[in-house]
A and B are shown apart, each in its own frame.
Chain A
């Protein structure tokens, strides 16, 4: 029987999940790697606000009812033994569930 061990790392980190409604697209069409996502602000109530491209997103910090474990394949494991490391747990997420609002830059002047 195949047995895959999930081993927590000694210093279990706490990561954050940022969740957007729908798909995130790269403006330059060159994938995500190395690209900037946006500015993350928090208002006085502690709610997150993100500016991504020409959009502004209002969100909430939410405690996950069911937390996540972050699994990464252990490349140092012996050949015949498959092992994953539990690198971190995620108990909080920033959720942006509202529709992004466009930022209007050029306001046409009244003629």
Chain B
């Protein structure tokens, strides 16, 4: 732009200020003239409203992925979180200016009524944008994919008809971030066999754990110190009963590796996990169990040195003390809906009143960052106090 144009523009700006009765001495410089580009439009650019954590990801150069099948609502994933995406419309006009001075520190007082003019171009306008909200990853689909083909042992692999999935195949099917998928795979004790993520058939787990626990008893080992290599050798000394990778997986699922001074890898079995394993084994094939009888059988079946405590049943089984006699039944969190409202609906259908301790394990798995079980209870449940104990019940008539 040549100087005479700028001079005439400055003259125009000055004239408009006078008409608007604005005193130039009260204003800062530079003055900026905003003009739409020749090819400005409302299509080329999409605005995405960012969660603070996602802004950081972008600023560090990290990429985002929008995932979904034709019929899905799109979700947006970072490496470790999942967000829902929704289009929001505003009645305001949003104008995009790539280069604009707005910071007070970049502006200066007007000296001698001098106007310094800058031309700023607007590249587009919008009246809508995408909103994101943190959601629980779509893990129910992940679970149902893995349930297509349980691992029942090496000898059954040939007749295995269902499809098995590698991590990248799973990522291509699931609307979730990779870290969330891995976390979920660990949580459900999925085992990576020849690159594919598998669930072990419960009957097979019972068989293998039986061998392991029997060996521990025979050898008079402590559950706090199971030597891995020796265990593999002894279990398989007359033909392969439990492959070593399965044994390792089970020791990792129901226990953890302990530090040892010698060169021997040792595992400690976790009392809670082992007791829950036995409870599930006893309860899984019956709809209900007499509580008193169950507790007797359960306590006598767990390995010596372990004490089966009723508290281990939280989040695994429901105890009904309103019936006579008292009963207990298996109730696992895995099969419940992952939508918060639907989750509460199913919980209150199964049981009318819950204590905090009882309901917590059935809620906490779907709480996303920033959500707490207490806050969810305040929102979705009604509390009442009976005999000094606080109970939670439904807020609304149950819809089925």
Contact = CB atoms under 8 A, between A and B. Distances in A.
Contacts of A87: 45
Interface in B17-37: 17, 19-20, 22, 26-28, 31-37
A51 B22 CA distance: 10
Contacts of B323: none
Contacts of B91: 21-23
Contacts of A61: 102, 104
B98 A88 contact: yes
Contacts of A20: 92-93, 95
B96 A34 contact: no
Sort chain A's interface into a size bin.
Answer: 35 or more
A1 B67 contact: yes
Interface string A4-17: 11111010110111
A13 B92 CA distance: 24
B134 interface: no
What does DSSP make chain B's interface, helix, strand, loop or mixed?
A: strand
Given A1-B68, A40-B32, A56 B20 contact: yes
Contacts of A72: 44-46
Contacts of B325: none
Query: Is the interface on chain B under 10, 10 to 19, 20 to 34, or 35 or more residues?
Result: 35 or more
B163 to A, nearest CB: 15
Contacts of A7: 63
A107 to B, nearest CB: 11
B336 interface: no
A4 B331 CA distance: 38
A70 B93 contact: no
B193 interface: no
A71 B46 contact: yes
Given A69-B47, A70-B96, A40 B31 contact: yes
Contacts of A29: none
A18 B20 contact: no
Interface in B21-67: 22, 26-28, 31-41, 44-52, 54-55, 58-59, 61-67
B336 to A, nearest CB: 25
B385 interface: no
Given A68-B129, A70-B45, A8 B61 contact: yes
Given A3-B66, A12-B58, A73-B44, A66 B52 contact: yes
15 contacts: A1-B173, A4-B65, A6-B65, A15-B97, A16-B97, A24-B125, A37-B35, A42-B107, A46-B107, A50-B34, A67-B50, A67-B55, A89-B55, A89-B59, A94-B102
The 10 A-B pairs at the shortest CB distance, nearest first, are namely A16-B100, A46-B104, A37-B34, A6-B64, A71-B46, A4-B66, A18-B95, A40-B32, A42-B28, A69-B48
